[in-house]
Amino acid sequence: MRHINKIFQEIFLIELNDLDEDINALIEQSKYKFTHEEISNYVCLENLAVLQNELFGVEGYIDEVKRIDPESYDSIDDMIKSLHEILQKRIEEKGIVHSILLLVERKLDKVKKYISPR
C-alpha cells in the first residue's frame, strides 16, 4: 500500500507543475492583454498580483510535497489529509490567496481518481 503513496506523490507533483505552468500562462496572457490595450494598467496589475501570489503558493507547496515521505503514511487518505493541512498552514502563514486551495484540492481529487482501484 505504501508503494501506491509514492505513485500518488509523483503524479500529484506532475499535476502541481501543470498548475504552475497554467498560472505562468495566465500571467503572460495578462501582460499581452495590457500591451495590446485590451485591459487597463489597473486590471493588469491586479491580475498579476493575484496570479503571482498563487504562483508563489504553488511553487512553495511543490517544494513541501517533494520533502514528504509518502511511505510514512498508512493510506492515501492519510497522506491527502496531511497535504491539505500543509497547504492550509502555508496559506495562513504566507498570506497566500485562498483560491489556491480550490485549485490544489481539484488536483488532489484528480490524482486520487487516477490511482483508485476501479
C-alpha–C-alpha distance, residues 15 and 61, integer Å = 12
Computed over every residue of the chain, the mean pLDDT equals 94
Contact predicate 65/5, CB 8 Å:
no
φ and ψ of 11, to 5 deg? -70, -40
Positive or negative torsion for Cα 27, 106, 94, 86: negative
pTM of the predicted structure, to 2 decimals: 0.92
Residue 2 has pLDDT above 80, yes or no: no
Residue recorded with cell 509523483: 10
- 69: which DSSP letter? -
Q: How confident is the model at residue 117 (pLDDT cuts 50, 70, 90)?
A: confident
